[in-house]
Chains A and B, each alone.
Chain A
Amino acid sequence: MESATTDHHKQLQYCTTRLPYRQGRELKAVKVYTVASESRYLLIFGVPKINLQGNLKTKLQCFGKLQSCACITPEMAAKMELEAFTDVFAVQFERLEVARRAKRQLDAKQFYGGTLHISYAPERETLQELREKLMKRSQEVAHRTRRNRTDQTDSTPAKKRMK
């Protein structure tokens, strides 16, 4: 029944064997996400150990309101193998969409000589935050469903583009 509780933070390999019709422009790993996977809390691995907390904070604040950004290298080093000479930061955004965007744009990108690896950290949420996250998911779904319906009736339907 047991698994290392940091398994979901390990970086997976990119998938290189996709059939051409479904190989996107970027390489991605084979991974599934649900509301249980995502979170306003992120862990950022691979930050070079040269006092970059300030720089990282500034970079993250460009995406939206940052609630906290703390170095947790000692805590994580006990639980999993970390890249040498790098720090791990635990980050909390005020909104989930902001965390999503930051993860998407910064994951696997260069940062002062290191390559960042970012993963969601839902284990850091409180029970109340988890309840709210699930509630927000159902609100977003309802909102999106309505939006998609009105978008469709306003514009001409998408046509098949094969020539």
Chain B
Amino acid sequence: MFSSHRHLKRRTPDQGIDRREYIGHLVDEYYTTTNVEALEQVTANLANFAYDPINWPHLHEAEAFDVFIASLKVQNQNLQLHGIAAICNICLDKAAAELIREHLSIISGLFVRTDHPVIVLHSLALFYQLLNAGQVDKELLLTPPLLKGVQEWRQKSHDQRIVKLSSLQQVQVVKRFTQNDLEQFAQFTGDHNYIHTLDLPVEERRVHGALLNAVVAGIMGTKLPGPGTVVLEQSFKFLKPCRIETDTVVTVRLLQSRKISTAEYDCRQNDEIVFAGNAKLLTRIT
């Protein structure tokens, strides 16, 4: 829920403490109490305050972010959960994003080793928001262990909230086709159609359509949805000729993530779509 300054003024009783002081007290209690229940209560309280931007200045003043990071490091799963939820709530704040970048390894480390589904849920929401807001470098966040973790949760979890959140990010691969690729493909498939060969000048030569589709299928079978995927149905269009020796951006995006998922994909050269389509995929064999 969100509050306004007027609303907060109205809600504070005459003898009471205002929001800024209250947050300060919560952080103090975190560092001074030895009671586990109290720790869980104050971290949950702070995490929920982190949802409303009106509290962000107070949370920064009280250095609450240190509390959140500290909670990620302890063994108590409830504290880890409250910490990651707090970070997920505050991640759209520029100052918080900077702190997140500093402690990225701790945050992604928790995600990779945890078995707690709700921690995974808030972590995924955090990662997605960071990437979308351009707050973190894709290569720094999406390390192989992290991507593998996301893929595993997507394929094995029965919790639809997790399956969906781990299906959001699209996969993009940049490929550059060479004449050698075309010749090998022609040799393997028997498609010696002259439109793919040296008989035509480079500007008129085009990549085999089936080869484009195969690259897309490769992504679907290794990255999104991943190994075990079986294509049931496909429809696609070749909108423009795909040229060789040009960077081709291949994008795959899931539309529905269930036993039978649907995905859409396209190939672009020079920001123009040369190939696009969608597919029905069988993703769960168990």
Which of chain B's residues 258-282 have a Cβ closer than 8 Å to chain A?
none
Q: Which residue of the partner chain, among B17, B22, B53, B125, contacts A36 with CB atoms under 8 Å?
A: B125
Q: Which residue of the partner chain, among B6, B19, B29, B132, contacts A151 with CB atoms under 8 Å?
A: B6
Is B186 interfacial (CB 8 A cutoff)?
no
Q: Mark A121-144, 1 if CB is under 8 A from B, else 0.
A: 011111110110011011011001
Chain A residues whose CB sits within 8 angstroms of the CB of B9 once the complex forms: 158
Asked if A138 and B158 make an inter-chain contact with CB atoms under 8 angstroms apart, the answer reads no
Docked Cα-Cα span, A158 to B152, in Å, equals 49
Asked if A134 and B41 make an inter-chain contact with CB atoms under 8 angstroms apart, the answer reads no
Docked Cα-Cα span, A32 to B46, in Å, equals 9
Is B214 interfacial (CB 8 A cutoff)?
no
Minimum CB distance partner of A124 in chain B: B160
Q: Which residue of the partner chain, among B21, B156, B161, contacts A160 with CB atoms under 8 Å?
A: B21
Is B112 interfacial (CB 8 A cutoff)?
no
Asked if A32 and B5 make an inter-chain contact with CB atoms under 8 angstroms apart, the answer reads no
A56–chain B nearest beta-carbon distance, Å: 23
Range of interface residues on B (Cβ < 8 Å):
35 or more
Is B213 interfacial (CB 8 A cutoff)?
no
Asked if A32 and B255 make an inter-chain contact with CB atoms under 8 angstroms apart, the answer reads no
Asked if B22 and A22 make an inter-chain contact with CB atoms under 8 angstroms apart, the answer reads yes
Asked if B255 and A125 make an inter-chain contact with CB atoms under 8 angstroms apart, the answer reads no
Asked if A151 and B121 make an inter-chain contact with CB atoms under 8 angstroms apart, the answer reads no
Docked Cα-Cα span, A140 to B53, in Å, equals 10
Docked Cα-Cα span, A122 to B81, in Å, equals 18
B41–chain A nearest beta-carbon distance, Å: 6
| Chain B residues touching A, majority SS | helix
Minimum CB distance partner of B83 in chain A: A32
A21–chain B nearest beta-carbon distance, Å: 6
Docked Cα-Cα span, A93 to B101, in Å, equals 36
Asked if A1 and B115 make an inter-chain contact with CB atoms under 8 angstroms apart, the answer reads yes
Asked if A30 and B40 make an inter-chain contact with CB atoms under 8 angstroms apart, the answer reads yes
Is B129 interfacial (CB 8 A cutoff)?
yes
Docked Cα-Cα span, A34 to B89, in Å, equals 6
Chain A residues whose CB sits within 8 angstroms of the CB of B47 once the complex forms: 32, 34
B136–chain A nearest beta-carbon distance, Å: 14
Asked if A36 and B88 make an inter-chain contact with CB atoms under 8 angstroms apart, the answer reads yes
Asked if B158 and A2 make an inter-chain contact with CB atoms under 8 angstroms apart, the answer reads yes
A69–chain B nearest beta-carbon distance, Å: 20
Is B216 interfacial (CB 8 A cutoff)?
no
Asked if B125 and A35 make an inter-chain contact with CB atoms under 8 angstroms apart, the answer reads yes
Docked Cα-Cα span, A124 to B22, in Å, equals 36
Asked if B161 and A122 make an inter-chain contact with CB atoms under 8 angstroms apart, the answer reads yes
Q: Which residue of the partner chain, among B15, B19, B121, B153, contacts A163 with CB atoms under 8 Å?
A: B15
Chain B residues whose CB sits within 8 angstroms of the CB of A158 once the complex forms: 5, 8-9, 12, 18-20
Is B195 interfacial (CB 8 A cutoff)?
no
- Tell which of A12-20, A60-68, A70-78, A108-116 binds the partner: A12-20
Asked if B85 and A162 make an inter-chain contact with CB atoms under 8 angstroms apart, the answer reads no
Asked if B16 and A161 make an inter-chain contact with CB atoms under 8 angstroms apart, the answer reads yes
Is A100 interfacial (CB 8 A cutoff)?
yes
B180–chain A nearest beta-carbon distance, Å: 38
Q: Mark B23-63, 1 if CB is under 8 A from A, else 0.
A: 00110010000000110111011011001111000000000
Nearest 7 CB-CB pairings of A with B: A123-B160, A36-B125, A32-B85, A34-B88, A32-B47, A5-B159, A144-B53
Residues of B whose CB lies within 8 Å of any CB of A are 1-2, 4-6, 8-9, 12-22, 25-26, 29, 37-38, 40-42, 44-45, 47-48, 51-54, 78, 81-82, 85-86, 88-89, 92-93, 115, 117-118, 121-122, 124-125, 128-129, 132-133, 152-153, 156-161, 164-165, 167-168, 254-257
28 contacts between A and B (CB under 8 A): A1-B157, A2-B158, A7-B117, A8-B161, A15-B41, A17-B37, A18-B41, A19-B38, A22-B26, A22-B45, A30-B78, A31-B44, A32-B47, A32-B48, A34-B51, A36-B122, A36-B125, A100-B1, A124-B160, A128-B255, A134-B129, A137-B129, A138-B129, A138-B133, A144-B52, A158-B12, A161-B15, A163-B14
